[in-house]
Amino acid sequence: MGIILKSQRELDKMREAGRIVSAVLDAVEAACVPGVTTFELNGIAKRELARAKARSAFLGYRPGVAPPYPAVLCTSVNRVVVHGIPSKQECLREGDLIGIDFACFKDGYCADAARTVAVGVISEPARALLETTRMCLERAIKESIPGARLGDIGAAIARTSESRGFAVVRDFVGHGIGAAMHEPPSVPNHGEPGRGPRLRPGMVLAIEPILNAGSAEVVVLDDGWTVVTADASLSAHVEHTVAITDDGPRVLTAA
Ligand code: MF3
Ligand code: CO
């Protein structure tokens, strides 16, 4: 299946979903303080989702052999790379880094975004990882213009990450998005400039750099979801849903 181009009307619907995603992440982010459990964070996301009359894209999601995902939010603390499952047993502490990832459907269209948030004061290396990961996404978004190539996005991410001494996780990638959460193409966090499919107006990509402070190697835990760094180093992940338009990149999950 090829890359599905979206009409202006579809992009506007995806923007509505994206507004909700942004508002949910705002509410969750504000609650990322020492003492809160990741289960409580999931509860906040659930409440905001209901308020917006939207449907979770994560709850019950079941790719391949994994068990159905049991929550509406992914909460990935410190060495957890992505897909951390909220838990009553997991309490945030000062100095933690937490990735919060959320997607929903509104009026038949999906938007997907993630942030990594500092809990109180974090260490200098954690700050550098966080800032670099955000910079990777910003630079990737700048590449997301008609006429560029998919490889330009990954190349920008890997270049930015590696210049600061961080490792890009290759086992998980961004994706096309629209009426389904995952559509073609895969959007790797590395690539060759000038290679890959040409970016065209109407394409919508979920771009999601994932950086580790140590090695790029990751391990999936026995729950079938939680991805951790193999060397227990810190990891950070950020994501936006971005439309390619003639007026430049349109970040559908922006505030
Ligand atoms: N943002 C992730 C993705 O794009 C989260 C999906 S994991 C899920 O694939 F199970 F929670 F859906
Ligand atoms: Co995604």
pLDDT tens track for 109-160: 999 999 999 999 999 999 999 999 999 999 999 999 999 999 999 999 999 9
pLDDT of residue 63: 85
pLDDT 10s digits, 166-225? 999 999 999 999 999 999 999 999 999 999 999 999 999 999 999 999 999 999 999 999
- Spatial distance between the Cα atoms of 207 and 102, rounded to a whole number of angstroms: 14
pLDDT of residue 68: 97
- Spatial distance between the Cα atoms of 121 and 126, rounded to a whole number of angstroms: 10
CA of 99 to the centre of ligand 2 (A): 13
pLDDT of residue 104: 98
Q: To test the ligand 1 pocket, which listed residue (74, 189, 207, 240) has its Cβ within 8 A of the most ligand atoms? A: 74
- Spatial distance between the Cα atoms of 105 and 34, rounded to a whole number of angstroms: 31
- Spatial distance between the Cα atoms of 41 and 38, rounded to a whole number of angstroms: 5
29 three-class SS:
helix
Nearest CA to ligand 1 atom 8: 58
Structural domains in the chain, CATH included, are 9-248 (3.90.230.10)
pLDDT of residue 106: 98
Confidence of residue 64 (pLDDT cuts 50, 70, 90): confident
Q: Using a 6 Å CB cutoff, which residues line ligand 1?
A: 58, 61, 69, 74, 83, 101, 103, 112, 114, 175, 206, 239
pLDDT of residue 185: 98
